[in-house]
Amino acid sequence: MKIIVLDGYGLNPGDLSWSGMEALGELTVYDRTSPSELLARSEGAEVLITNKTLITADDMAALPQLKYIGVLATGYNVVDIEAAKARGIIVTNIPAYSTSSVAQMVFAHILNITQRVGHYAEDNAKGRWTESVDFCYWDTNLMELDGKKMGIVGFGNIGKATARIAQAFGMEVLVYTSKEQHELPEGMKKTSLDALFAECDVVSLHCPLTPDTKEMVNAERLKLMKPNAILINTGRGPLINEQDLADALNEGRIGAVGLDVLSVEPSVKNNLLLGAKNCFITPHIAWATKEARTRLMDIAVGNLKAYQEGHIINNVAK
């Protein structure tokens, strides 16, 4: 079996092993593959493994031996699923591998904004504390989370994990979800989306990107938020209208934002959020702890092994 990994660097920059996949066939791993390189590299392959490399209907038509596409992520919009179904090509994804890591990043952003540890550590490394006339100093707003309201938009695995952490900090959790109130864990309250944005001190986005959720955070919804409220997005960049968010930040209409995703990745140089006030951006790394990537690799190998053995798991092209 010929197995081609089109863009393996994101998952494994060198600290993991491909040995599990090597045991399943003739493996070739490319760090990255451009659209112009895809067909030549994939010729004769029964299995393609992709993370962000697009695989189109035309690509599938040009690769008659292709039987299986493994997506190294939970989202699988990089593959034309309808074309795969029409050709009987199995497409698998990697569910629920990064739940704890992403929830941890949510609170890394929240704690950075509320405590600004990096800011003070950097200043003190330059000698600022040694020059202080008082035993302490601060020049940012410091916020205690206990007793504050945390809004969770979307209540899948990551939303649930984030909500549990919020409760551990003593926060009151409000949830926007299709689930009924009786289905929510004790102490969590179902509410409308607008009420959540209006009432909560922190809002964290955990819903999928759909036509209904695209730019759900826009000028009108941002106007509902408290002037010191914090917005966190570790989900998908296009959930937010970035122009509207930059305007709200620069005009001081909301407190701060922590983002691990943007509408275009890698970021374009003229993205207005890069220079917006109180906007803290990490480069889509919430999923990238070694522990989460190890789980991802193990599940990817398990998906492919199951395919070889004739019992398909995690197939999204049913």
Q: Is 236 a catalytic residue?
A: yes
Catalytic residue among 41, 87, 253, 284: 284
Catalytic residue among 221, 236, 293, 295: 236
Output phi, psi for 258, to 5 deg. -120, 120
Q: How many residues does the chain have?
A: 318
Q: Is 265 a catalytic residue?
A: yes
- CA-to-CA separations, 120 to 26, 108, 112, 244, 273, in angstroms, rounded: 52, 16, 11, 30, 23
Q: Is 82 a catalytic residue?
A: no
Catalytic residue among 37, 183, 220, 265: 265
Q: Active-site positions?
A: 236, 265, 284
